[in-house]
A = this chain, B = another copy of it.
Amino acid sequence: MNANNEHKAPVLLALDWGTSSLRAFLLGEDGEVLQTRSTPQGLQSLPMPGAAGFEQVFAGIASDWLARWPHLPVVAGGMVGSAQGWKEAPYVRCPADVGSLAAHTVAVASGLGRDIHIAPGVLLDEPGVMPDVIRGEEIQIAGALAQNPALGQRATMVLPGTHSKWVQVENGRIVRFASYMTGELFAVLVKHSILGRLIADAHAPEPSDSQAAFLQGVQAARTSLPGDFAHQIFAARTLGLTRRLAHGQLKDYLSGLLIGHELVSGLAKSSTTLQAQGPLLLIGDAVLCQRYAQAFAALGVPVAATLDNPAPRGLWEVARVLGLLEQPVVEASL
């Protein structure tokens, strides 16, 4: 958002509504973000269960916008379309693109007078592979491909997070993907395991030590054998006990170890050579992407680019395919 954009008329209200937050965007006629609002009222933090909770949060974030532009179309993506969401938008199957996402949106009427078009997630369910799902990331991929059409031919997109996703794109479509519970594993180990108690006891670490410990964790992951995970996380404790690692470094070591495990596995699954899978892109939170980029560098794998948040553009693409952007949006008369 900038001062110039404030004066443009929006053509779309886009909602990126996940487990832990809701972000709402007013988008202009070229998909540009005019205004952004966010609230921590994700699915886990609704003021009340069920549709009434969604209604209330939606009204809180968007009622003045819809009062001003009462005919603004509304699209949404993310966990808001899950079985625990406002209305379930059942998964579409791989290969999936913005066309199949748009074709399978479901509409839910809101108390503000507008239907909300909720995009589905994507299901990978083929024989011989573990089934997998994404919900929300497919919107970011659609946005990334709209912003960088050259990537569509072939690319590997890594979206780090609570449940990291490795998504393979071919010919503009999501053809396969794999999820990793890396972020959630790290959180539960730090909050609830013996490793967390050691981390809590630590003094503030030196910044330089943190970086070294992170890379030491990545290297440990690099040399791991199948099944080693539960042994290697215990070793984080004994590395501290034997002073090979300062206690203040334990958290970064663990972070490097977990991210390293994800990378070792994800790179192995991304076919025999990464070149064959096209450039590797990171999508997501800048600080987290920076950590992943460091880990990729330590493994000798180049990252072609890091994309910030293509979700609004992805939702705009869904709306475009749905034909929601074809009508002029007028302000309510006062």
Contacts and interface: CB of A to CB of B under 8 A. Distances in A.
Contact of A227 (B193, B221, B234, B239): B221
B131 A242 contact: yes
Interface in A218-277: 220-221, 224-235, 238-239, 241-242, 244, 258, 260-266, 268-269
Q: Is the interface of A mostly helix, strand, loop or mixed?
A: helix
A140 interface: no
Interface stretch (A178-186, A204-212, A279-287): A178-186
Nearest to A264: B227
A181 B229 CA distance: 9
A103 interface: no
Contacts of A269: 225
Nearest to A196: B188
A181 B241 contact: no
B130 A227 contact: no
Contacts of A266: 227
Contact of A180 (B164, B224, B230, B242): B230
A221 B194 CA distance: 24
Which residue among A123, A132, A230, A265 has the maximum number of chain B CB atoms within 10 Å of its CB? A230
Contact of A228 (B123, B163, B226, B260): B226
A125 B199 CA distance: 22
A175 interface: no
B133 A238 contact: yes
A261 to B, nearest CB: 4
A91 B258 CA distance: 29
A106 interface: no
A9 to B, nearest CB: 41
A275 to B, nearest CB: 20
A203 interface: no
A137 B121 CA distance: 48
A230 B258 contact: yes
A18 to B, nearest CB: 13
A179 to B, nearest CB: 4
Given A130-B238, A133-B238, A234-B181, A229 B193 contact: no
Contacts of A262: 227, 230-231
A239 B131 contact: yes
A185 B261 CA distance: 16
Contact of A231 (B178, B231, B232, B244): B178
A233 to B, nearest CB: 5
A191 interface: yes
A7 interface: no
**5 shortest A-B CB distances, which residue pairs?**
A227-B265, A227-B264, A130-B235, A229-B229, A227-B261
14 contacts: A131-B239, A132-B235, A132-B238, A133-B241, A178-B231, A180-B230, A181-B230, A181-B233, A192-B192, A221-B227, A226-B228, A227-B261, A229-B261, A230-B265
